[in-house]
Amino acid sequence: MNAMFRSAAALGLVAIVGTTMLTGVDWLTADRIAAQERRVILEQLGELIPQEYDNALLEDRFTFMDETHFPGGQFATAWRARLQGEPVAVILKFNAVKGYNGNITLLAGINVDGSLRGVRVVSHKETPGLGDAIEIEKSNWILGFTGKSLVNPEREKWAVKREGGDFDQFTGATITPRAVIDAVRLALQYFDAKEAFLFNAPAEPEGGAAP
Amino acid sequence: MSYRKIFADGLWQQNTGLVVLLGLCPLLAVTGTVVNAIGLGLATTLTLVCSNLVVSLARRTLRPEIRIPAYVIIIASVVTVIQLLMQAWFYDLYRVLGIFIPLIVTNCAIIGRAEAFASRNAPLPSAIDGLATGLGFLLALVALGALRELIGKGTLMSQASLMFGELGESLQVTLIPGHPGFLLAILPPGAFIGLGMLIAGRNWLESKRSGRRKAVLAAEARG
C-alpha cells in the first residue's frame, strides 16, 4: 500500500514539474512567437501591397465563408488596405481545393478596380519537382497573375494553354496550375460580386491560429 | 563503461538510424534535403541529451512500475520546450520542420536510450550517451539527406539560409548545374532505397573490417 502511494506521488511530482516547466517556457516565449508570426504574415502581405496604405493592415481583417467561391467548407480571410480611409486593395487568403495533393493555400492581392496585384502560394503539398513550380522560389509562373482581372483575359481564357487559355502549364503537371487558376478566378468573381461587403465588413481582432 | 565506447556505440556500432533502426519515421520523412536533416538531427540530439539527463537524475525516485509513464512525460515536456524555443528563435526553420518536431516524441530511440542507458547510469555518462546517440542519428540523417538532395536536385545545403541566416546563402552549392531533377530520390521511395543502400554500405565496411581482423587473428594463431 505504502509503495503504491509512493509511486503515485512520484509520478504526480513528475507531472507537476513537467507542467510547471512548460507553463514557464510558454510564458517566456509567447510574445516572441507572436511577433515572429506577425513578421511572416506582414512579409507575405507586403509582397502583394506596396507602401501605399496607412491603416493597420494586420488588424483590419475578418474571416468569412462562401461555399460557391471558396468551396470545401473553408474559412477565407480578408485584409483591407486603406489610404486615409479610402479602400486601396484587399488581400484574400483562401485554399485552392482541386490540387493534386490536398489544399493549396493562396494569397491574392486585388486592387479596388478589380485587377490583381499579385498572387502567392503560402503552403501546398504538390509533387516536388513538378507541381511546386507554383512557388515563387521555384519559378516565375505565379507572377503571371499580376495585372490580370476578370476582363483581362476574358472568362474562357482563364485556363492553361493546353486547354486554350492564357496561362502556361508545367511539364508533367496540369492539375496544379489549373487548380490555382480556377481558385484565383473564383476569388476575383467573389470580389466582383461582394466588393462593398469586403471593404465594409467590421474588422475582427485576430483570434486563434495565424495563417 | 568508457566514454570512448559510448561514442563508438552511438556513432557506429549501435547507430540508431543504420543498425538499431529506431526512429525510421523521421529518418525517412525529413531527409529530402541536408538542411532539413541537420535541423531535425540537432533537435533530436538536444532532446536525447536533456531526456537522458533528467531520467538519470530521477532514476532512484522512479520505481520500475511507473518508469514508462514518467519517461513519456519527461520526453514530451522536453520536446515541447524545444519546439517552443525553436518557434521563438528559428521560426523559418520551424515552418519547414514544424510537423516533425512533435514527432520526436514518438522516436523510439529516445525512450530506448532512457530505458537501456539513462535509467542505470550516472547523469554525466547518460548525457554523453544522449549526445553520442543523437550525433549518430544526425550523421545517418545527413548522409541520407545529402544522397537524396544530390541525386534528386543536384545541390547540397539548399535553403541553408533558413537555418544559418545570411551565412547560409554561401553554404549552398550546386554540384550538378542544370540538373533536370530526379524525382524518385526526393519522393518517399527514394528514402527507402537510399536508406537500404546506406545500410548495405555500412554492413560492407563492417564485414571488410571484421574480415581483416579475422585474417590478423588467423595469422597470429599460425604464429
Q: How high is the ipTM of this complex?
A: 0.70
Cell 541553408: give the residue. Answer: B160
B138 within 8 A of B145, measured Cβ to Cβ: no
Contact B87 A36 (CB under 8 A): yes
Over its C-alpha atoms, chain B yields an Rg (Å, rounded) of 19
Residues on B contacting A at a C-beta cutoff of 8 Å: 32, 58, 61-63, 65-66, 69-70, 73-74, 76-77, 80-81, 84-85, 87-89, 91-92, 95, 152-153, 181, 183, 186-187
Q: Is residue B82 classed as helix, strand or coil in its secondary structure?
A: helix
pLDDT at position A208:
44
Q: Tens digit of pLDDT for each residue in A44-95? A: 888 888 778 888 888 898 999 999 999 989 999 999 999 988 999 999 999 9
Q: Whole-angstrom Cα distance, residue B90 to residue B87?
A: 6
Which of B56, B63, B82, B155 is the best mutation test for A, with the most CBs of A within 10 A? B63
Amino acid A125: pLDDT: 83
- pLDDT in the model for residue B71: 92
Strand, helix or coil at B117? coil
Cα separation, B14 vs A161, in Å, equals: 55
Distance, in Å, from the CA atom of B143 to the CA atom of B56, rounded to the nearest integer, reads 31
3-state helix, strand, coil split of chain A in percent (to 5) is 40, 20, 40
Select the residue from A4, A17, A27, A33 to test the B interface by mutation, using most B Cβ atoms within 10 A: A33
Q: Tell me the pairing of strands B155-156 and B173-174.
A: antiparallel
| Sign (positive or negative) of CA dihedral B177, B183, B188, B189 | negative
Q: Is A139 on the interface with B (CB under 8 A)?
A: no
- Distances from the Cα of A178 to the Cα of A28, A98, A167, A170, A210, angstroms: 45, 8, 9, 10, 27
Per-residue pLDDT tens over the stretch B152-201: 888 888 777 767 767 777 777 888 887 777 878 888 899 999 999 999 99
Cα atoms in the Cβ-side hemisphere of radius 13 Å centred on B122:
5
Look at B36 and A31; give whichever has higher pLDDT: A31
Chain B CB contacts of A15 under 8 Å are 73
Asked whether residue A206 carries a pLDDT value surpassing 70, the answer given is no
Rounded to the nearest angstrom, the minimum Cα separation between B181 and chain A is 7
Asked if B55 contacts B118 with a C-beta cutoff of 8 angstroms, the reply is yes
Output B140 or A156, whichever has higher pLDDT.
B140
The percent of residues in chain A predicted with pLDDT above 90, rounded, is: 47
Integer CA distances (angstroms), A131 to A79, A126, A134, B30, B150, in order: 28, 5, 7, 19, 20
Residues A182, A171: Cα–Cα separation, whole Å: 19
**From its phi and psi, is residue A135 left (phi > 0), alpha (psi between -120 and 50) or beta?**
beta
Q: Rounded distance, CA B51 to CA A57, Å?
A: 43
The pLDDT value given to residue B60: 86
Is the link from the previous residue into A50 a cis peptide, with omega within 30 of 0? no
Q: What is the pLDDT of residue A211?
A: 44
DSSP A76: E
Q: What is the dihedral of CA A151, A155, A156, A157, to 10 degrees?
A: 40
All cell numbers assigned to A56: 493597420
Residues of A in contact with B153 (CB under 8 A): 129
DSSP state string for A77-115: EEEEEEETTEEEEEEEEEEETTSSSS-EEEEEEEETTS-
Interchain CB contact of A1 with B (< 8 Å) = no
How close is the nearest chain A Cα to the Cα of B63, in Å? Answer: 7
Residues of chain B predicted below pLDDT 50: none
Distance CA A88, CA A81 (A): 5
Q: Nearest to residue A181, comparing CAs of A168, A200, A197, A196?
A: A168
User: What does the domain layout of chain B look like in residue ranges?
Assistant: 3-222
What pLDDT was estimated at residue A164? 85
Task: Please give the order of strands across the beta sheet that includes A86-96.
Answer: A61-64, A76-83, A86-96, A104-111, A116-123
Cβ-nearest to B70 among A11, A21, A128? A11
CB contact under 8 A, B80 and A22: yes
Amino acid in position B32? G
Pairing mode, if any, of strands A116-123 and B155-156?
Answer: unpaired
Model confidence, pTM: 0.75
Cα B97 from Cα A132, distance rounded (Å)? 18
In this predicted structure, what is the pLDDT of residue B223?
62
Q: Which cell goes with B25?
A: 519515421
Assign A154 a pLDDT band (cuts: 50, 70, 90).
confident
State residue B221's pLDDT score: 78
